[in-house]
Amino acid sequence: MQALYAQLLVGLINGSFYALLSLGLAVIFGMLNIINFAHGALYMMGAFVAYFLLNLGGINYWWALLLAPIIVGIFGMILERTMLQWLTGLDHLYGLLLTFGIALIVQGVFQNYFGSSGLPYAIPDQLRGGMNLGFMFLPVYRGWVVVFSLAVCLATWFLIEKTQLGAYLRAATENPTLVRAFGINVPRMITLTYGLGVGLAALAGVLSAPINQVRPLMGADLIIVVFAVVVIGGMGSIMGSIITGFALGVIEGLTKYFYPEASNTVVFVLMVLVLLVKPTGLTGRAA
Amino acid sequence: MTTLTDDTLPATPRAMRDEMIVFVVMALLLASVPFTGVYPFFVMQALCFALLACAFNLLVGYGGLLSFGHAMFLGTAGYCSAHALKVWALPPELGILVGVAAAFVLSIVTGYISIRRQGIYFSMITLALSQLLYFIYLQAPFTHGEDGIQGIPQGRMFGVLDLSKPTVLYYVVLVGFLAGFLLIVRIINSPFGEVLKSIRENEQRAISLGYRTDQYKFLAFVLSGTLAGFAGALKVFVAQNASLTDVHWTMSGEVVLMTLVGGLGTIFGPVVGAFVIIAMQQYLAGFGQWVTVIQGAIFVVCVLTFRRGVIGEIAHYFRRSL
């Protein structure tokens, strides 16, 4: 049973990353009509920025948790201003191709300087050790990742669904021209939205740095799984992305316990099944 | 949906004549390669990728469906052909047939699943399916995991053509490429191809005109996947191995890049694109990961400023359909 709980915890952690990343993808897709292929690369950048902050600037994990998403978010906003904004009105596929190109550039540059092996990032002192819950041993850091990600996801949901700013955002998703006519600066909102989505990816990167090591290709395979998560959940609903992300992580964890050979593929197999039964995805409207 | 290429002209007699002239020139140029001292292995490799890119282009350039998993057909056909040749010791022609049949079956299954969603979801689904296959091949015993299938015998095609001789192999690959290429051109210029283009331009209108667009897209997917498989089967004889590289998503990305550079929705674009990208990899092999960076930069530049691609720009300038 210990092993089962341990795998469930790993599943929840992966689920946190799926949720944070697919949430960002959904937010970006809503405003920019672009599937951000660079999301995995920006997640990796988040981890690297945390690594640099610690090793070059002596800035600890807690500051990195705040600074890395801001730094990567600014980088993302520069990308949006200089490149992505020119794609408005073009076919969807150009957005995918452009962000794929960006992902290749970012990953290639990091691979050149850091190879393919992982760099260690130590767990902050306050979150070391573990506690005995009676039925299992819980490493504090892993528990923290799950709780903190969930809080961030819910905060994002609150921001978009319950605040004034979120209302503008949702309105601009539906009809940007009309919202502009009301005097709201939609292009700036688009830039900030991209920054927000990218910042969430970077935050996931910082959270994962002490668990998965910091590697140039850490986001490359992850993003494909997240795409499958997005296909399963649909991008129509914020809460849908969060729930699907966590649920798929847990299912993956369970698979690792019961049938480890399929743990790499279970999300993709589920995607196939969902497509066969309900082609629009679990929460999505017809695309 | 905005159009991919605004200047694909209908298949008029003049356009057909232009295409024929360029095709003959291309075929003569390629046929003369063994006499020019150009490294034939390089050209053969480029030809396999050119066929793959043409097959991919049939789907994206004419059907508007961006598959981000075309490596799965290349790799699956490669593995199956390699297995048939090495373990079952089949002659080359049957080995190719096994690979193509495998790609055909795979494209039916994956097409049935992925055609259910449009646009951006289609791309994500094909990518996820190819990743699924990647993990299956990583674990399946017959692919030998990280090592791949190596030292594949080339054998004698039809009992007479000794494929271990580079010149003979070259012409066999060339004939295979030209046959596949002509078939794709024929499909594009057929009534089926015209309907496919109309679906790309405006699917809703095609539906309202009474076309069952799902069936057209499915058929285009199967044709594209099977032809991509043919390219994979030919590649086995050139490279004499089948490995995980051919099923990885980076390969799918390269195919997209080749087609984009040459020109989406142009007949000759993917061929030019394949030669450009393969040549680039050849010359920059010593620069390690910078090749990836350069490829990424080409993607960015092409999407931002050069969406018609090399052949697309030429065709646009001369107001011809190529």
Give me the DSSP letters along B119-158: HHHHHHHHHHHHHHHHHHHHH-GGGTTTT-B------EET
Listed in order, strand segments (DSSP E) in chain B are 156-157, 161-162
Is A228 inside any structural domain? no
Is A235 inside any structural domain? no
- Residue A214 DSSP symbol: B
Is B10 inside any structural domain? no
Q: Which amino acid is at A186?
A: V
Is B82 inside any structural domain? yes
Is A212 inside any structural domain? yes
For residue A284 the two structure tokens come to: 């999505």
Domains: count for chain B: 1
Residues 6+ apart with CB under 8 A from B60: A93, B4, B66, B67, B256, B259, B264, B265
Domains: count for chain A: 1
User: Quick one: pLDDT band at residue B160, thresholds 50, 70, 90?
Assistant: confident
Complex prediction ipTM:
0.91
CB B320 within 8 A of CB B268: no
Is A166 inside any structural domain? yes
Tens-digit pLDDT profile for residues A186-235: 999 999 999 999 999 999 999 999 998 899 999 998 999 999 999 998 88
Rg (CA), chain A: 19
Neighbours of B187 (CB within 10 A): 18
Q: What are phi and psi of B149, to 5 degrees?
A: -95, 120
Chain A residues whose CB is inside 8 A of the B131 CB are 221, 224-225, 228, 268
Is B308 inside any structural domain? no
Domain interval for residue A98? 17-217
pLDDT value at position B295?
93
Is B45 inside any structural domain? yes
User: Quick one: pLDDT band at residue B120, thresholds 50, 70, 90?
Assistant: confident
Rounded to the nearest angstrom, the minimum Cα separation between A233 and chain B is: 12
For residue B31 the two structure tokens come to: 């046929």
pTM (predicted TM-score): 0.92
User: Quick one: pLDDT band at residue B10, thresholds 50, 70, 90?
Assistant: low
Question: Does residue B148 have a pLDDT over 60?
Answer: yes
The answer to whether A93 contacts B120, with C-beta atoms less than 8 Å apart, is: yes
Partner residue opposite B132 with nearest CB, options A98, A221, A268: A268
CB B40 within 8 A of CB B30: no
Neighbours of B86 (CB within 10 A): 18
Is B195 inside any structural domain? yes
pLDDT value at position A287?
41
Residue at token pair 């006499």: B35
Is B279 inside any structural domain? no
| Chain B residue with the nearest C-alpha to that of A88 | B2
Domain interval for residue B92? 16-248
Is A273 inside any structural domain? no
Tens-digit pLDDT profile for residues B95-111: 999 999 999 999 999 99
Using a CB–CB cutoff of 8 Å, tell me whether A96 touches chain B: yes
End-to-end CA distance of chain A: 42
Residue at token pair 């000794």: B162
User: Residues A50, A54, A58, A60: what is their CA dihedral angle, to the nearest 10 degrees?
Assistant: 70
